[in-house]
Structure 1
Amino acid sequence: MLEAIPTDIFATNFRLQQQNNLVGEVDTSVFREKARLELEEGTYELYREGRFSGDFLLERNGNIVARATKPRALQNRFEVELPNRNLVLRKLSVFSRRFGLFEGEKQIGSIYPAGIFTRRANIDLPADWPLATRIFLFWLAFLMWRRQKQAAAS
């Protein structure tokens, strides 16, 4: 399992650990839905195509690696296109911050906070998937958590 750990108490950046080994870092933008992912294999860009609409993309060296569409603005659900796979990432309950990843009707993974009062997150997705893909899915869940927090504060 992969774990996302905030770099400090107020940061929106995360260190990514797997079996207590640092495997990468995500630097998220405070004002826009974009981030930079630093892994041993290179740098990835995570961003939304448009400022307020459009698909969410994972890109490396100008090539789109993964794409997610949010079909409805008020739903916590993404339709995700990976090479040779179409998946759905959706919130499992109105009362929970846990997201489930589904291939057809079968749940194949989840992303969830490590506790009630923490911003740490567990990324429980197939370990044989590329690291960048798993982190892209975490970033999508993180965006929904951040939107929820902003809505609650207003």
Structure 2
Amino acid sequence: MLHSTTSGFFKRHYEITEDDRPLVTLEHGGREKSSFTLDGVPYSIARDGGKRLLLTERGRRTGTATRDGGRRWSIDSDAGRFELVKPSMWKDGWELHRDGTSLGTISKNGAFSKGATADLPADIPLPVRLFAFYIVHVLWQRAASAAAAGGGGG
């Protein structure tokens, strides 16, 4: 299980742990970009237009997330195709699906918490789980920014 703790205001940092051991820090900067190193391998996440995010490993694209609608994103990766689905417009939680079946959840730890949990299967490669976790953090940040500006989000 992955856990994140958020810090920072203008530039957000997500400290990610797995089973209580530090794993990576994802920095959410301008233009929704981040990078991390996992077992000595560099990865980066970057926005490609308003409806796509890309995951690259050593400069090679290994994942693409595309917005299919306000509450659905498809993730194509080396590990297969997944969907991020927000089952309720009233709650912040997201589910990761494969072939229409829920595999796990990504949710905030509470309304006033700076933490979140990704309960995703370990057989999904860690870079893909981190990519999905980061996407949901981006979507939460977009929604918070839109709410602060008085509009919709997602």
Q: What TM-score do you get using the length of structure 2 for normalisation?
A: 0.88
SS in 2 for 1:153: helix
Task: Report what 1:92 is aligned to.
Answer: 87
SS in 1 for 2:92: coil
**How many residues get paired?**
148
Q: What TM-score do you get using the length of structure 1 for normalisation?
A: 0.88
CA distance in 2, matches of 1:42, 1:119: 28
SS in 2 for 1:133: helix
Task: Note the aligned Cα RMSD (angstroms).
Answer: 1.6
**Residues 1:108 and 2:103 aligned together:** yes
Q: CA deviation at 1:124?
A: 0.8
What are the Cα deviations for residues 102-148 of structure 1, in whole angstroms up to 9, with x where unaligned? 11221001111011111211011111222211110011111110111
What are the Cα deviations for residues 54-79 of structure 1, in whole angstroms up to 9, with x where unaligned? 5211001111111111123xx13211
CA distance in 1, matches of 2:28, 2:36: 9
Q: CA deviation at 1:17?
A: 0.7
Sequence identity (%): 27
CA distance in 2, matches of 1:99, 1:56: 17
SS in 2 for 1:129: coil
Task: Report what 1:123 is aligned to.
Answer: 118
SS in 1 for 2:68: coil
For 1:86, the aligned partner's letter is R
CA distance in 2, matches of 1:84, 1:141: 19
Asked if structure 2 preserves the Cα contact closer than 8 Å seen for 1:58 and 1:67, the reply is yes
Which ranges of 4 or more aligned residues in structure 1 deviate by more than 3 Å? Answer: 8-11
CA distance in 1, matches of 2:47, 2:8: 26
Shift of the 24–84 alpha-carbon distance from structure 1 to 2, 3 Å rule, reads: closer
Asked if structure 2 preserves the Cα contact closer than 8 Å seen for 1:25 and 1:39, the reply is no
For 1:57, the aligned partner's letter is L
CA distance in 2, matches of 1:42, 1:80: 21
**Residues 1:151 and 2:141 aligned together:** no
**Residues 1:68 and 2:65 aligned together:** yes
Asked if structure 2 preserves the Cα contact closer than 8 Å seen for 1:110 and 1:125, the reply is yes
Shift of the 127–43 alpha-carbon distance from structure 1 to 2, 3 Å rule, reads: same
What are the Cα deviations for residues 70-99 of structure 1, in whole angstroms up to 9, with x where unaligned? 123xx1321111225211101121110000
CA distance in 1, matches of 2:79, 2:34: 25
CA distance in 1, matches of 2:119, 2:28: 21
Which ranges of structure 2 fall in alignment gaps of 5 or more residues?
150-154
